[in-house]
């Protein structure tokens, strides 16, 4: 039991929260980066290898395209259906192989990325499927290579829904990062369990909830505004006006 009236209680709380937030942001940030690097191409290949897709016949073989599509579909479905707590434990040997340990924030990045990659890949897949096939034809008629179609048409045109998908992804990574904390991953989840639960400090618990809530809110607002900015459905002047409002909301944490 922690005594809130102790003289060093608030500075201790602040210290613990700071370290926890830092660890959480580190875990979430790095796994998000890995998620984008792996999930984006994965999503593109998932759409592309479908029948009639851009990569339906890699190296001239439709069979190869179909196999690639089936295998990736399977992996994505598997990754998304296994409950995170099980995945995390099941991945321990793999984590140890990659990072050298399975304890601490760096080790937590591995299961976080593994769970987020298929999730984000699906988001990318959905976003890219929404792109009008007429745009692909227009690019083809201009003599574009497949890579140019991906880089100049598909990804830029799907950017807005992909950013929204990314924000959903990052919210679940934050969610899972708290769970990782319970198995000695560190971060805000670890703070909530060790202080809030095991040592009955309601103040710690509430503080953690507030910090996580603020992080999620800020990221969500950022994503919404970026998505709107890239959508160009409204006049760009309006998006321009929305930016200062975003800066304010970041500062005040609203």
Interface with another protein (CB under 8 A): 132, 134-135, 137-145, 148, 152-153, 156-157, 159-160, 230-236
Report in angstroms how near the CB of residue 136 gets to another protein at its nearest.
Answer: 9
Report in angstroms how near the CB of residue 148 gets to another protein at its nearest.
Answer: 6
Report in angstroms how near the CB of residue 61 gets to another protein at its nearest.
Answer: 14
Report in angstroms how near the CB of residue 58 gets to another protein at its nearest.
Answer: 13
Q: Distance (Å, rounded) from C-alpha 68 to C-alpha 55? A: 10
Identify which of residues 137 and 248 has a Cβ nearer to another protein in the complex.
137
Identify which of residues 215 and 227 has a Cβ nearer to another protein in the complex.
227
Of 182, 173, 199, 186, which is closest to residue 18 (Cα–Cα)? 186
Identify which of residues 199 and 232 has a Cβ nearer to another protein in the complex.
232
| 149 within 8 A of 136, measured Cβ to Cβ | yes
Q: Distance (Å, rounded) from C-alpha 118 to C-alpha 43? A: 8
Report in angstroms how near the CB of residue 129 gets to another protein at its nearest.
Answer: 16
Identify which of residues 148 and 220 has a Cβ nearer to another protein in the complex.
148
List CB contacts of 139: < 8 A, sequence separation 6 or more. Answer: 148, 149, 152, 153
The Cα-based distances of 33 to 36, 98, 147, 170 in angstroms read: 5, 17, 22, 10
Identify which of residues 80 and 232 has a Cβ nearer to another protein in the complex.
232
**For the CA atoms of the chain, what is the radius of gyration?**
22
Lookup: tokens for 245: 């409002």
């Amino acid at each position: 039991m922690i005594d809130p009236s102790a003289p060093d209680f608030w500075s201790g709380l602040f210290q613990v929260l700071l370290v926890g937030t830092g660890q959480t942001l580190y875990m979430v940030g790095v796994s998000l980066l890995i998620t984008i690097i792996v999930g984006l191409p994965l999503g593109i290949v998932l759409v592309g290898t479908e029948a009639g897709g851009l990569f339906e016949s890699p190296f001239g073989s439709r069979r190869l395209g179909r196999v690639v599509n089936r295998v990736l579909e399977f992996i994505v479905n598997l990754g998304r259906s296994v409950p995170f707590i099980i995945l995390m434990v099941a991945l321990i040997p793999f984590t140890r192989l990659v990072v050298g340990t399975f304890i601490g924030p760096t080790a937590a990045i591995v299961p976080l990325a593994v769970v987020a990659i298929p999730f984000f890949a699906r988001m990318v897949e959905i976003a890219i499927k929404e792109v009008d096939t007429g745009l692909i034809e227009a690019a083809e008629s201009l003599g574009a290579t497949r890579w140019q179609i991906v880089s100049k048409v598909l990804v830029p045109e799907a950017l807005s829904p992909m950013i929204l998908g990314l924000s959903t992804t990052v919210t679940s990574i934050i969610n899972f990062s708290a769970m990782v904390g319970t198995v000695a991953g560190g971060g805000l989840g670890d703070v909530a369990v060790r202080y809030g639960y095991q040592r009955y400090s309601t103040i710690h618990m509430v503080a953690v909830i507030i910090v996580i809530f603020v992080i999620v809110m800020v990221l969500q607002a950022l994503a919404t505004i970026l998505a709107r900015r890239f959508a160009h459905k409204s006049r760009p002047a309006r998006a321009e006006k929305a930016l200062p409002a975003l800066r304010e909301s970041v500062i005040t944490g609203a």
